[in-house]
Amino acid sequence: MGLEAFEDLDGWERADDAAREEAVQALCASLGGDGSFEPAPAAGVYAVVVHRPTGLSFVAIPGGRFQMGLRESDLSALREAAPDTPATILAQLEKDAAGMRPVREVTVAPFLLGRSVLDAPTVERLTSGRLSGRFCHRMGWSAARELASSLGFRLVSEAEMEWTAREGGRQAFAFDAARQLSRLPAAREEVSSRFGLERIFDDAWCEDGYHPTYAGAPSTSEAWTSDAYRDPSWMNGAPCGVARGYGPPDELEGWSDVWSFLAALRGSYTRKKGYVRLARSLRAS
């Protein structure tokens, strides 16, 4: 079993340990073949590799298909999971729903995804001090894309982020978190996903440019960069980025956990600072 093992999430989970080990070896060999990547202890059944030049850990996320966007079933699941959710939350979701629709089927290609967003010490180390300080890991979209590219990676796409947040398209919420609110630790960053990802609720920039809706969006998981929205009042009309993982407006503070657990939510393109989560495409030849 080679790289094709990563093409289908269900097939990957059915594979035995020997087949997965063979696939991970093929994965490392395919990523340049120069020893830049090496296997690391797995996150459950998922393959983890380390990028030796940076020391960063990545999860190999298998591909598949799912319905991307805010569905009516998501809102129904929210009402069921958190029946005391204020009407203002539901009203705000309905108001913003157009920006998360139309719902469409997306084919996700396998990809590597950083196990965590980059923190300040890591950004300072990777940039040899060019970026430094307590908040150097929080940056604008263009800077985030430039940093990822300089390291030989890219940012995660919107479709890839939603695929992982929905646990491979299986959940209305990120790992069904809304049904587990009473059991979650106080620090959300301590919660990891089914794929073994960490810091999954942080507002991470996507490679995609901002589009007000999904009308015309690709049916693949590639980043949607063409015809990105340009805001004449922001960054001199430069294309705007999009981030995922934002909490609610200030007036809904206190319900940010329920709000941000919704995997379909998109951050405002006017937000000027966000986290960086590195990604790289992975596809069997």
Contact 108, 204 (CB under 8 A): no
What pLDDT is recorded for position 285?
42
Model confidence band, residue 134 (pLDDT cutoffs 50, 70, 90): very high
How many angstroms separate the CA atoms of 65 and 97, rounded?
Answer: 22
Peptide bond into 249 cis (omega under 30): no
pLDDT exceeds cutoff 60 at 205: yes
Q: 249-255 long-range CB contacts below 8 Å, 24 or more apart?
A: 249/92, 251/88, 252/86, 252/88, 252/89, 252/92, 255/85, 255/86, 255/89
pLDDT tens digit sequence for 148-204: 999 999 999 999 999 998 889 888 776 566 555 555 544 555 556 788 888 877 889
- Percent of the chain at pLDDT > 90 equals 51
Q: Kind of pairing, strands 111-114 and 56-61?
A: antiparallel
How many angstroms separate the CA atoms of 80 and 178, rounded?
Answer: 9
How many angstroms separate the CA atoms of 259 and 262, rounded?
Answer: 6
Model confidence band, residue 88 (pLDDT cutoffs 50, 70, 90): confident
How many angstroms separate the CA atoms of 144 and 125, rounded?
Answer: 15
Higher pLDDT, 279 or 272: 279
Distance, C-alpha 119 to centroid of its chain: 16
Run of H or E residues at 204: strand 204-209
Mean per-residue pLDDT of the chain: 84
Model confidence band, residue 81 (pLDDT cutoffs 50, 70, 90): low
Query: Across residues 135-139, what is the average pLDDT?
Result: 95
How many angstroms separate the CA atoms of 230 and 112, rounded?
Answer: 29
The two structure tokens encoding residue 136? 């150097």
Query: Across residues 76-104, what is the average pLDDT?
Result: 79
